[in-house]
Structure 1
Amino acid sequence: MTRREIDLPDTLPLFILPGAVLMPRTRLPLDIFEPRYLQMVEDALKTPHRLIGMIQPLDESGETLAGVGSAGRIVGFSEQEDGRYLISLGQISRFHLDRVEQGFQPYPTGHVDWQGYDDDHLDSEDDPDWDRDGFLSLMRRYMDANELSTDWEAADDADGELLVNSLAMALPLEVQDKQALLEAETLAARRALLEGLLEYQLRNGENDEVMQ
């Protein structure tokens, strides 16, 4: 089922998780073990669209949610012997969260608005001004400075959009930074913001070394 074939609903079950964002045209693997979210997965699998809304909390209490989330369709599902579910969400569209309600289900439900995210339904998005070599050099410096590893051969060969969106999802960035990346209107804007965040962290790391 493609994005264009899904009749997007007015309400979504919400998976509230800091640091977990679902960028356009990506997939997000999740290990589900909390009882309320196990129930959410079971309920979502019974619907025609199999959609779950990923959204970040903006405070430690989890009561203040981001205004924008991203819906994914369950495209992979495996039940483990210990009762956990391993699922994979394929991104369908971002959404604006209008309000949250707690009904009879053990998990929250969001009333959502899909307007403004038609580009999420495209097969791909271009970034004509992207300096691939410069981006990979910045990425390597950031990875080395933070003692992170990656498959550099795969990174060298990766599609530009997939590389930018995957890094925006996977890197250990602050919740607010990941939210800003999710809300970026275009791939070019997301890439530029990501470059700025990596440069900022690298400069801060250098300043910390000088002060020591």
Structure 2
Amino acid sequence: MISSNDLPDVIPVFPLPGALLLPRSPLPLHLFEPRYLAMLDDVLKTSTRLIGMVQPYEAPGGGGKLHTIGCAGRLTAFSETEDGRYMITLSGASRFRIIEEVEGFTPYRRCKVQWDGFERDLGAVEKDPNFDRKSFMEALNRFLEDRGLSTDWDSLREVEDELLINSLSMLCPFEPEDKQALLEAPSLTTRRETLTTLIEFALRGGSGEEVMQ
């Protein structure tokens, strides 16, 4: 478990469109680019083993920009394939706010970050006291059927509210900007409300971009 005192001022960041990491949730990743293999090597030498996941976007005039808010995960598992690639798992630790990008000699990007305002990420599992799970699961079932997707319903029915909502936020095929909205939700209840809105709007044939405006 990482405490607030362990959180570093500068972390490596992995900009990956559509990849969402949330506190207390696992994210499997496949690393093969040389710059990210170098990042993995450097991260393994640190005490916290943190990597920041952040959504990139194209700014007017070109250039890959980063959203201000991302989520850092602790490297908790990795294995090497025969051809030199790595399968890793990040366990969501805390969201952060980017202050500035750090120039340096690493082939991967690093950012100076601030952790203030996300203290609940390091705390206990969040609850959603007004969660109507039955209605939510019915809407989710329609959404998955509409997308031709399947899931393990027995497992979903048994998991706690936070793991259910966070896992679906991470796995459902929403646009990157929608994923960013789910990341920035200040509480589990707000994230569940945003997720529900996205599911219902998709079932009506709308786009997530219109929802988030």
Fold shared, TM-score > 0.5 on shorter chain: yes
Q: Is there any run of 5+ residues in structure 2 with no aligned partner, and where?
A: 207-213
Which amino acid letter does the alignment assign opposite residue 17 of structure 2? Answer: P
Q: State the percentage of identical aligned residues.
A: 49
CA contact (8 A) 2:23 2:91 kept: no
Written as runs of structure 1 = structure 2, the 5 A alignment for 1:140-179 is 140-179=141-180
Rounded Cα–Cα distance in structure 2 between residues aligned with 1:155 and 1:167:
10
CA contact (8 A) 1:6 1:49 kept: no
CA contact (8 A) 2:4 2:122 kept: no
Q: Post-superposition shift, 1:64?
A: 1.3
CA contact (8 A) 2:144 2:150 kept: yes
SS at match of 1:64: strand
Moved more, 53-62 or 130-139: 53-62
Written as runs of structure 1 = structure 2, the 5 A alignment for 1:75-154 is 75-154=76-155
- 1:14 matches 2:13: yes
TM-score using structure 2 length: 0.92
TM-score using structure 1 length: 0.93
Rounded Cα–Cα distance in structure 2 between residues aligned with 1:82 and 1:164:
36
Q: Is there any run of 5+ residues in structure 1 with no aligned partner, and where?
A: 206-212
Q: 1:75 to 1:6 in 2, by over 3 A?
A: farther
SS at match of 1:3: coil
Rounded Cα–Cα distance in structure 2 between residues aligned with 1:58 and 1:126:
32
Q: Post-superposition shift, 1:85?
A: 0.9
Rounded Cα–Cα distance in structure 1 between residues aligned with 2:131 and 2:74:
30
Q: Post-superposition shift, 1:62?
A: 6.0
Rounded Cα–Cα distance in structure 2 between residues aligned with 1:90 and 1:24:
7
SS at match of 1:29: strand
Which amino acid letter does the alignment assign opposite residue 39 of structure 1? Answer: A
SS at match of 2:64: coil
- Aligned residue pairs total 204
Rounded Cα–Cα distance in structure 2 between residues aligned with 1:113 and 1:96:
5
Which portions of structure 1, spanning 4 or more consecutive aligned residues, are displaced by more than 3 angstroms? none
Rounded Cα–Cα distance in structure 2 between residues aligned with 1:62 and 1:147:
35
Instruction: Report the equivalent of 1:39.
Output: 38
Q: Post-superposition shift, 1:40?
A: 0.3
Rounded Cα–Cα distance in structure 2 between residues aligned with 1:188 and 1:140:
20
Task: Give per-residue Cα distances to partners, 1:158-203, cap 9 Å, x unaligned.
Answer: 2111010001001110000000000000000000000000000101
- 1:182 matches 2:183: yes
Q: Post-superposition shift, 1:12?
A: 0.4
Which amino acid letter does the alignment assign opposite residue 150 of structure 2? Answer: S
SS at match of 1:58: strand
CA contact (8 A) 2:17 2:56 kept: yes
